[in-house]
Structure 1
Amino acid sequence: MEVQRKQGHIKQGLAVSLLSVFLLLSLWGCGTKKDDSLADGTYNVEVTLEGGTGRATVVSPTQITVKNGKITATIIWSSSHYDYMLVGGEKYLNEAADGEGSTFTIPVDDLDQPLSVVGDTTAMSQPHEIEYTLNFSLIDIEE
């Protein structure tokens, strides 16, 4: 009887130990952010554009700048008719000279996530705000 009780305790202890190891392995990365931040500098990354009519494009690769952990991207449109962009509720004005593709320097919080933006085009009889999504590709990053 005593032997069976000891075997039961051993089995129970083994089960608890295995459960603990499984739980620790399952939670290994939870709640922590992977530190794959870029060092300060200028990089070229691929960018794609979704939304709109499909007629406008953006230049890719595009230049991003990292300074003190903050990322900005220089977005150059195929059209010179964009006068501003809205990103996160903030308005960014066209930086390009007349006749050049509309150019904007905008903040990017996370290069791994799609970025919703609005571009205001003056190419039609009335200005129109058009919703787009920018997708950055870190796979092709070049310093």
Structure 2
Amino acid sequence: MTIDELQLADGNYTVEVTMEGGSGRATIESPTALSVEDGQAVAQITWSSNHYDYMIVGGEKYLPVSTDEHSVFEIPVAVFDEGMDVIGDTTAMSTPHEVEYTLTFASDSIRGEGGSAAGKSGSATAAAGIVIIVAAAAIAAVVMRKKRNTKA
């Protein structure tokens, strides 16, 4: 599933992410932060180690935004609910090694900043708001008619 299919509005979310590959010693934080801007999704990947000096995603090299306690990367998410192949270069061994991983971002776990489920619910919420406004206007019209009829 793509970001277009999910119809996520621009904003900040969280998403569950699983990782396969590597030696099994390194992990990543889940859920992770997910931001959407102009139809592009970017995940903040936080490794259990601060020994990752770059990641390669879709043939592009990404440098960490932090290496204090953990290596933290901001990478694009092109697909949800399917494995996305990435490479993490670790310097934890005697020489740097590029390690292949597969990350899977679960679309059904996406939550907005308030913790509510994301996805197409934004348009459903807007539609519900319109229904409420129309209903309120209809009730107001009936009340106004009744007031006019009782004055006559």
Question: Would you say same fold, with TM above 0.5?
Answer: yes
CA distance 1:142–1:96, shift in 2 (3 Å): same
- The one-letter amino acid paired with 1:48 is T
Deviation at 1:97, TM superposition (A): 4.0
Deviation at 1:140, TM superposition (A): 1.8
Report what 2:128 is aligned to: none
Match of 2:80 among 93, 111, 119: 111
Deviation at 1:138, TM superposition (A): 1.7
Considering fraction of residues, name the structure with more helix.
2
Report what 1:101 is aligned to: 70
Report what 2:102 is aligned to: 133
Match of 1:88 among 58, 70, 73: 58
Considering fraction of residues, name the structure with more strand.
1
CA distance 1:35–1:90, shift in 2 (3 Å): closer
Q: The residue matched to 1:124 in structure 2 has which SS? A: coil
Maintained 8 Å contact 2:50/2:67:
no
- The one-letter amino acid paired with 2:87 is V
Show CA shifts across 1:98-135 (max 9, x none).
3x110000011122321100000000000000000001
Report what 1:48 is aligned to: 18
- The one-letter amino acid paired with 1:56 is A
Structure 1 runs (4+) greater than 2 angstroms displaced: none
Superposed CA RMSD: 1.3
Report what 1:74 is aligned to: 44
Gaps of 5+ in 1: 1-33
Distance 2:99 2:5 in 1: 34
Match of 2:90 among 121, 133, 142: 121
- The one-letter amino acid paired with 1:95 is V
Q: TM-score, normalised by structure 1?
A: 0.73
Gaps of 5+ in 2: 113-152
Aligned residues: 109
